Amino acid sequence: MPHEAKIPGQVEGLRLPPRAWKVLQREHITNIDQLIAAAYRIDQFSGIGTKTAHVIREELVRVISLKEQPPKHPS
């Protein structure tokens, strides 16, 4: 079951499958910036296949788009 975002900027809150978490931990990827830097080669990490790499990249797009949205102000 994927995890829910809790800490902005930290990978701990991303919605990723357990396999992805194990690889990120093994590769010492602990924040969004590190994951963005590794995104182009994530499918080259041992234990990450094409499907898991796609899921990771999709989650990065989701999180980045959330950060770029302006804050909502009550009407």
Residues 10-36 have pLDDT tens digits of 777 789 999 999 999 999 999 988 999
Tally the residues of the chain.
Answer: 75
Q: Tell me the pLDDT band of 4, cut-offs 50, 70 and 90.
A: very low
Residues 43-75 have pLDDT tens digits of 999 999 999 999 999 999 998 887 766 667 666
Q: Name the strand (E) or helix (H) holding 67.
A: helix 50-68
**What residue segments make up the domains of the chain, in order of their start?**
11-68
What pLDDT is recorded for position 66? 77
Mean pLDDT of all residues belonging to the chain: 82
- State what percent of residues in the chain have pLDDT above 70: 76
CA–CA separation, 5 vs 65, rounded Å?
Answer: 13
